[in-house]
Amino acid sequence: MNFTKKHIWITGASSGIGKAVALKISKEKAHLILSGRNRQELENVAGICEKNGSQATVLPFDLGDEASVNAAASQVISTHKKLDALYHFGGISQRSFASETPLFVDRKIFEVNYFGTIALTKAILPEMIKSGGGHLAVTSSIVGKFGFPYRSSYSASKHALHGFFESLRAENVQHNIRVSVIIPGRIRTNISVNAINRDGKTHARMDEGQDNGMAAEKSAEIICRKLKQEKKEILVGGKEVIMVHIRRFLPFLYYRLSSKVKPL
Ligand SMILES: NC(=O)c1ccc[n+]([C@@H]2O[C@H](COP(=O)([O-])OP(=O)(O)OC[C@H]3O[C@@H](n4cnc5c(N)ncnc54)[C@H](OP(=O)(O)O)[C@@H]3O)[C@@H](O)[C@H]2O)c1
């Protein structure tokens, strides 16, 4: 898919990978809708997108609030004749052991990462189908492919996205709905700072592993190239992404490594 003149909705556009992808796409004269909760950050990103030659509309909403998700979807449907693509980057991570994490924290992670994401997708899908199809991309994680210490519900929420979006793809091929699942390894963003702990509060720390991750701008280059090709799975990151292959082809090694790796 060529981005030029396309109407593309990007969630998680106020920070990190989503912001870097928005800025990259904005160099190709697209019509962007930028979402997240932080209006001020979204306005800043929109300003740069416009300087880069794209039109950018800011639409803040909360993925963890169904009414807010539906209101945002209605607004986009009423103001855009056609939505060519919806790229989901909005999400939160976790820093706590499963045994110490109360259910309200598990639910919060699922509300944002899973239910918010699928609610938005379901809200725009009928219009996308009516208008001849479109491209959906959702951001999972390498821990959406295997379990990892300190990330139990985060990992589970990302596994759930694979199940949902693979099913959605299979159900809607005849409607020209294309689906890409983005699978990042460690990318240097504020994901660990914004992650929630067992109290539901922010972890508020840049973890060493995160800090040593791939730059968000570099990840955006790879992601955008593969989004254009509408790849079904987009694996992006450093040497840590090899764990996906180890889990698949050498499971005994994964079982040994996953119990020994430093969780942060
Ligand atoms: N960085 C990595 O190493 C890594 C690895 C694997 C997967 N991922 C995934 O990549 C995606 C982007 O993360 P990132 O690394 O760019 O982290 P980030 O810098 O923390 O960005 C997260 C984005 O999600 C938005 N968001 C969070 N909670 C939200 C809510 N309740 N409602 C609406 N928007 C919300 C944030 O916007 P507001 O704060 O404005 O709401 C922000 O734009 C996430 O899905 C994450 O799970 C990241």
CB distance 117 to ligand 1 below 6 Å = no
From the CB of 191, is ligand 1 less than 6 Å away?
yes
**What's 40-95 look like in SS3?**
HHHHHHHHHHHHCCCEEEECCCCCCCHHHHHHHHHHHHHHCCCCCEEEECCCCCEC
C-alpha closest to that of 13 among 3, 24, 2, 29: 24
pLDDT of residue 1: 84
Q: Which atom of ligand 1 is nearest to the CA of 41?
A: 40
Alpha carbons 62 and 73: distance in angstroms, whole number: 12
Rounded to whole angstroms, the Cα distance separating 4 from 18 reads 18
- For position 122, what pLDDT does the model report? 98
Mutate which of 9, 10, 11, 14 for ligand 1 pocket (most atoms within 8 A of beta carbon): 14
pLDDT of 213? 97
Task: Give distance in angstroms: CA of 6 to centre of ligand 1.
Answer: 23
200: left (phi over 0), alpha (psi -120 to 50) or beta: left
CA triple 55-183-140, angle to 5 deg: 80
Q: Are 46 and 56 in contact (CB under 8 A)?
A: yes
Q: How far is CA 103 from CA 62, 107, 109, 176, 198, in A?
A: 20, 6, 10, 38, 9
**Closest by CA position to 90, among listed 46, 49, 34, 7:** 34
| Best residue among 33, 39, 93 to mutate for probing ligand 1, ranked by most atoms within 8 Å of CB | 93
Which protein residue's CA is at the shortest distance from atom 41 of ligand 1? 37
Which residue puts its alpha carbon closest to atom 1 of ligand 1? 187
Report the CATH superfamily, name and number, of domain 7-258.
NAD(P)-binding Rossmann-like Domain (3.40.50.720)
How many other CB atoms sit within 10 Å of the CB of residue 209?
16
pTM over 0.75: yes
Among the listed residues 87, 154, 254, 255, the single catalytic one is: 154
Are 198 and 100 in contact by the 8 Å Cβ rule? The answer is: yes
Mean pLDDT by 10 residues, the chain (264 residues): 96 98 98 98 98 98 98 97 97 97 98 98 98 98 97 98 98 98 98 98 95 97 98 97 98 95 75
Clarify whether 114 is annotated catalytic: no
* CA–CA dist 3, 22 (Å, integer): 11
- Work out the burial of residue 231: count CB atoms within 10 Å of its CB; fewer than 13 is exposed, 13-18 middle, 19 or more buried: middle
Partnered with residue 96 across adjacent β-strands are 151
pLDDT of the residue at 261: 81
